[in-house]
Amino acid sequence: MQDPNQVWQQQQMQMQQQQQMMQQQQQPQDDGKSDTLKLRLDLNIEVEVTLKARLHGDLTLSLLDT
């Protein structure tokens, strides 16, 4: 049976190794370029909606104020 302190130290070392591996994977490769894709869209949109309906009965219309 191992000493609890040794077990704790081994676990800490394993965690540090995993963190180092994750950091290395996140860093850009040899050429310094990242594989991240960036996309920027600037939109100026006007929307016009026409609604035609024939109703028989009562109508309640509510518009959300934003």
pLDDT at 1: 65
Query: Quick one: pLDDT band at residue 27, thresholds 50, 70, 90?
Result: low
Residue 54 to residue 56: CA distance in whole angstroms: 7
pLDDT at 39: 86
pLDDT at 28: 60
Residue 22 to residue 33: CA distance in whole angstroms: 18
Residue 61 to residue 18: CA distance in whole angstroms: 59
